[in-house]
């Protein structure tokens, strides 16, 4: 019997600071894809634009307000249980300081060192694009 995989459309924030460092979030051991690094973000709710979803998710997850700018990457990745469409956007914090609420850890990583982390597979195409620019 063929199992139909669930499809999920998510957005990720590539938040950078004045030092060209990017905010990276470590998935906790209790989350799906535990111990992988990712760009913070989440699912798009019905009726939301991608930018609205990203602003809401970052406010919920990191307790910050962001400004969403350019679209970086649109990736389709098939995991064992689910097919994820991840759209990433460049963002900057306009108010607040990122706080750990859902992830195990947050850290600012220099852009050129992004590939030193163990990234969730869906995030890798965006990493490659960031490193090539």
- Residue 111 maps to a domain: yes
- Residue 46 maps to a domain: yes
* pLDDT higher than threshold 80 for residue 131: yes
Secondary structure (DSSP) of 57-90: HHHHHHS-EEEEEEEEEEEEEE-SSEEEEEEEEE
On whether the CB atoms of residues 41 and 8 are closer than 8 A, the answer is no
CATH number at residue 120: 3.90.79.10
- Residue 37 maps to a domain: yes
- Residue 52 maps to a domain: yes
Query: Cα 123 to the chain's mean position, in Å?
Result: 7
- Residue 77 maps to a domain: yes
pLDDT bin (cut points 50, 70, 90) of residue 32 is confident
* pLDDT higher than threshold 80 for residue 2: no
Query: Cα 37 to the chain's mean position, in Å?
Result: 9
Domain that holds residue 33: 6-132
Percent of the chain exceeding pLDDT 90 equals 89
Q: In this predicted structure, what is the pLDDT of residue 133?
A: 78
pTM of the model: 0.94
On whether the CB atoms of residues 111 and 131 are closer than 8 A, the answer is yes
Number of structural domains found in the chain: 1
Q: In this predicted structure, what is the pLDDT of residue 80?
A: 87
* pLDDT higher than threshold 90 for residue 119: yes
* pLDDT higher than threshold 90 for residue 38: yes
- Tell which phi-psi region holds residue 43, choosing left (phi > 0), alpha (psi between -120 and 50) or beta: beta
């Amino acid at each position: 019997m063929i199992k139909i995989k669930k499809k999920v459309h998510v957005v990720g924030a590539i938040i950078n600071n004045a030092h060209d460092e990017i905010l990276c979030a470590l998935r906790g051991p209790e989350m799906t894809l535990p111990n992988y690094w990712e760009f913070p973000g989440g699912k798009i709710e019905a009726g939301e634009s991608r930018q609205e979803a990203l602003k809401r998710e970052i406010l919920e997850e990191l307790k910050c307000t962001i400004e969403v700018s350019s679209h970086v990457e649109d990736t389709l990745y098939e995991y064992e249980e689910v097919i994820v469409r991840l759209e990433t956007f460049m963002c900057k914090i306009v108010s607040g300081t990122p706080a750990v609420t859902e992830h195990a850890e947050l850290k600012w990583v220099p852009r050129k060192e992004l590939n030193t982390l163990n990234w969730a597979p869906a995030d890798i195409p965006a990493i490659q694009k960031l490193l090539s620019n």
